[in-house]
């Protein structure tokens, strides 16, 4: 502030109420950075400052709408208007998560480093001598940690606030009696944390109870908690007593994850697999309700007085996502082709982010010609492996790799990295704050109760009206199967028979040590009609998938019997990009070979099915007429939960909305304009003339014998606009192709291909395109097929600029 102004301005209030209001108003919207109000005696000084442009740089009168150069002088340019849906400020703080008002939240910020173990982490090999501790409970033990108020079944979400519950945060952990007291101090009231109660039943033995998903009485699988006051070289035993799934990967060698704060700060070591004497068994305590299961393991902490964390899988929180998106927004290169927007607000008011990723296009026609790919993750909040796959995908697609640039040239990517931020924040495993599994309610009409999926579905519906959606993938986690696999939807159309299986087969070839095609399933069950993949498939997306990633590891190839790391999951995101390019290769050799391989696999499966029943079948004659749904088994082995229906307080609202929608459907849509009415009349008139022409015998008698018996359309006088309509329809029918979805992609014309032959393909095709990306992981096992060389880096692709020019507003509808 200038000294001249400091001597004149005094802390007085304005005598004029209107001016007092306007100064408050303008300061609220960022036009002034000085005091809230100015005295009337200082008005003359302000007028003088307003006349002198050099004094506009005063902090008192500095406007955020004017741009300043490095010398702090006024540049006579207004700042560009703010984006209507922008949410990140390069200088401002992140949006703090909003919690339900029942949840207590500690003030500490929990942060973990990323680290990749230098050696493979192998599965635990059971010895058969693992103990099954008998559950003692708090009657014979000591409660050392317990959450007070946890909303369960019968309650429902009402409101939220930053920081959760009002008032002073209670100390739930016990008070240590002195330095010799070795009681562990538990805590889980942080983002994504889940632990409801800890009972000490021995000197170094604890029974743990997980919190169910909020506003429900089930879904206990995800855990993430902190322990302090540790002792090294002592064996601790932890037993989780209220798991609900009868089968688990812990029974076949999966280990829990542990994180040491001292190891992270001292040795830069992060999350690692730890645990011995791991046992998954049924809880003997029968309370007459649903059966419970226990997970027990032993562990030795590396340091005294350490702070350690345990988790079901590598955590990825809402704050982690915001930090990542902020880095994209602040990157001058990535922000040119990645536009983060707010898709909607969740039930608690947290932002659901939508990323639109594509390279600039110079004309509306080129922008409209691009096909779309839709990716989403974390509809189930406890399946954090979906976020790590999404992270790998984003790392690659936003890189300067030639393959990534090509993908951005020919596609528009719509990415929703976290569909259920409320569930992620509070540490749920499967549900939102509505107390329901969102992946069973994609057909909902309750926009206010299920905003995340309602807006997602409608975004895709609008996208389908603008362009073809080539691929929809929803990333999930799986707790009962190893490897990575997917669920798809069998096509009932002979035109696209087996085409929905080509993409997963290609993905299994690109990631043979991680992805299992044999574990994939394409049967559409009635109980899955409300899932994202089935709803999008019903809307017209042929390649609609749920990609399931295990919480455990791989049983394939070079990674056999080892746990997946964060880098393994990120690499799958890269392989998804790589497979999209293979799927859309103009040289259809790979595509047609995969179709042929799928037919052979299907023949073998049919023969195996009939052999099991002691029947013979002529596969050469009629095998392709057998419905695929009769061949495949159900997906009952999936990590699915049946829909619980709507909560009681939402049933009436849903019924009213459904009745309104039925009334709208029964009403006939009226033609709005005179032009539309005229066109309809002309169409009806034309159809009557055609019918009369077919029934007139004199017209048939005058024809030659070789003349077709079709109606003589050429002799009819068509209205001009009907000729146009008929031309368009005939052109559309002629253009209909039985080829795979992306054979008509427009790629740069000046690309030369070099033919080569490799094992695995009998026909020749082009070699693999350049994969010299610094971000794309180089898999140890290469796909056993030749690859088409896609365009070289940007500087060598002069023709691409002519085909895929710069971006306009229409690129992001």
E-state strands within 492-561? 543-550, 553-554
In terms of Cβ atoms closer than 10 Å to its own Cβ (0-12, 13-18, 19+), residue 708 is exposed
E-state strands within 363-435? 371-377, 411-416
Cβ-proximal residues to 793 (8 Å cutoff; 6+ apart), any chain: 402, 405, 770
DSSP 311-345: ESS----HHHHHHHHHHHHT-TTHHHHEEEEEEEE
151 close to 215: Cβ distance less than 8 angstroms = yes
Residue ranges of the alpha helices (H) in 428-587?
451-466, 502-510, 532-538, 566-583
Secondary structure of residue 186 in the 3-state scheme? strand
Residue tagged 């390069």 (tokens): 90
Q: How far apart are CA 556 and CA 531, in angstroms?
A: 29
DSSP 441-475: -TT---TTTSHHHHHHHHHHHHHHHHS-EEEEEEE
Cβ-proximal residues to 9 (8 Å cutoff; 6+ apart), any chain: 35, 38, 39, 42, 45
Give φ, ψ of 726 to 5 degrees: -65, -40
Which of 134, 548, 567, 796 is catalytic? The answer is: 548
548 in catalytic set: yes
Q: How far apart are CA 769 and CA 288, in angstroms?
A: 61
Alpha carbon dihedral 358, 361, 366, 371, in 10-degree steps, equals 0
Closest residue by Cα to residue 214 from 436, 379, 385, 25 = 436
Secondary structure of residue 756 in the 3-state scheme? strand
Tell me the two tokens of residue 332: 């001058």
- Torsion-angle region of 790 (φ positive above 0: left; ψ -120 to 50: alpha; else: beta): beta
Q: How far apart are CA 377 and CA 398, in angstroms?
A: 18
Provide the 8-state DSSP code for 739: S
- Exposure class string for 184-208: b at 16+ Cβ within 10 A, else e: bbbbbbbbbbbbbbbbbbeeebbbb
3-state secondary structure 253-277: CCCCEEEEHHHHHHHCCCCEECCEE
First to last CA, the chain: 45
Q: Which residues are catalytic?
A: 548
């Amino acid at each position: 502030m200038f000294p001249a102004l400091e001597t004149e301005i005094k802390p007085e209030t304005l005598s004029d109420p209107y001016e007092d209001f306007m100064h408050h108003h303008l300061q609220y919207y960022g036009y002034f950075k000085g005091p809230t109000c100015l005295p009337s005696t200082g008005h003359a000084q302000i007028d003088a400052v307003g006349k002198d442009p050099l004094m506009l740089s005063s902090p008192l009168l500095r406007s955020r709408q004017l741009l300043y150069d490095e010398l702090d002088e006024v540049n006579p340019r207004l700042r560009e208007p703010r984006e209507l849906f922008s949410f990140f400020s390069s200088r401002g703080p992140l949006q703090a998560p909003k919690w339900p008002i029942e949840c207590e939240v500690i003030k500490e910020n929990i942060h973990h480093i990323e680290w990749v173990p230098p050696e493979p982490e192998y599965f635990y090999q059971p010895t058969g001598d693992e103990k099954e501790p008998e559950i003692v409970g708090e009657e014979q033990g000591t409660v050392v940690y317990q959450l007070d108020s946890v909303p369960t079944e019968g309650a429902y979400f009402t409101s939220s606030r930053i920081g959760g519950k009002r008032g002073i945060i209670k100390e739930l952990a016990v008070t240590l009696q002195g330095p010799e007291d070795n009681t562990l101090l538990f805590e889980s009231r942080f983002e994504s944390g889940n632990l409801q109660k800890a009972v000490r039943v021995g000197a170094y033995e604890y029974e743990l109870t997980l919190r169910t998903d909020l506003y429900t009485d089930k879904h206990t699988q995800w855990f993430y908690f902190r322990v302090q006051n540790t002792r090294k070289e002592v064996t601790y035993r932890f037993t989780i007593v209220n798991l609900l799934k009868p089968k688990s990967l812990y029974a076949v060698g999966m280990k829990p994850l542990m994180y040491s704060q001292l190891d992270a700060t001292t040795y830069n070591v992060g999350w690692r697999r730890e645990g011995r004497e791991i046992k998954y068994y049924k809880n003997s305590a029968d309370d007459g309700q649903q059966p419970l299961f226990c997970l027990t393991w032993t562990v030795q902490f590396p340091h005294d007085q350490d702070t350690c964390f345990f988790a079901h899988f590598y955590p990825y929180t809402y704050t982690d996502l915001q930090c990542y998106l902020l880095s994209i927004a602040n990157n001058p290169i990535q922000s040119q082709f990645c536009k983060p927007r707010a898709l909607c607000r969740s039930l608690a008011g947290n932002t659901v982010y939508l990323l639109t990723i594509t390279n600039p296009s110079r004309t509306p026609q080129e922008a409209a010609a691009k096909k779309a790919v839709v990716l989403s993750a974390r509809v189930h909040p406890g399946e954090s492996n979906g976020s790590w796959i999404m992270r790998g995908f984003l790392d690659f697609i936003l890189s300067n790799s030639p393959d990534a640039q090509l993908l951005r040239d020919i596609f528009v990517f719509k990415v929703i990295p976290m569909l259920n931020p409320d569930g992620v924040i509070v540490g749920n495993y499967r549900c939102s704050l509505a107390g329901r599994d969102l992946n069973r309610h994609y057909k909902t009409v309750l926009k206010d109760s299920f905003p995340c999926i309602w807006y997602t579905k409608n975004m895709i519906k609008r996208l389908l009206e603008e362009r073809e959606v080539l691929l929809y993938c929803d990333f999930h986690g799986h707790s009962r199967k190893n490897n990575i696999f997917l669920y798809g939807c069998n096509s009932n159309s002979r035109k696209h028979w087996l085409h929905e299986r080509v993409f997963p087969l290609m993905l299994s070839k690109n990631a043979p040590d991680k992805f299992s095609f044999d574990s994939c399933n394409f049967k559409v069950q009635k109980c899955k009609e409300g899932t994202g993949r089935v709803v999008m498939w019903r809307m017209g997306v042929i390649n609609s998938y749920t990609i399931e990633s295990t919480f455990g590891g791989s049983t394939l190839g070079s990674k056999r019997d080892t746990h997946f790391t964060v880098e393994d999951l990120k690499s799958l995101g890269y392989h998804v990009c790589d497979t999209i390019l293979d799927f859309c290769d103009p040289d259809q050799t790979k595509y047609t070979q995969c179709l042929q391989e799928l037919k052979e696999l299907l023949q073998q499966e049919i023969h195996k099915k009939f052999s099991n029943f002691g029947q013979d079948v002529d596969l050469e004659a009629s095998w392709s007429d057998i419905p695929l749904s009769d061949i495949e088994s159900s997906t009952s082995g999936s990590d699915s939960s049946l829909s619980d229906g709507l909560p009681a307080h939402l049933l009436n609202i849903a019924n009213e909305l459904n009745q309104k929608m039925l009334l709208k459907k029964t009403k006939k849509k009226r033609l709005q304009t005179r032009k539309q009415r005229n066109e309809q009349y002309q169409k009806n008139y034309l159809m009557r003339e055609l019918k009369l022409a077919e029934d007139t015998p004199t017209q048939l008698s005058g024809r030659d014998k070789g003349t077709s018996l079709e109606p003589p359309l050429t002799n009819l006088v068509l209205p001009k606009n009907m000729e146009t309509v008929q031309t368009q329809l005939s052109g559309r029918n002629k253009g209909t192709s039985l080829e795979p979805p992306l054979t008509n992609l427009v790629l740069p014309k000046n690309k030369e291909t070099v033919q080569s032959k490799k094992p695995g393909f009998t026909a020749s095709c082009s070699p693999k395109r350049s994969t010299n990306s610094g971000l794309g992981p180089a898999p140890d096992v290469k796909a056993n097929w030749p690859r088409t060389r896609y365009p070289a880096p940007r500087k060598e692709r002069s023709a691409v600029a002519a085909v895929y020019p710069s971006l306009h507003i229409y690129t992001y509808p």
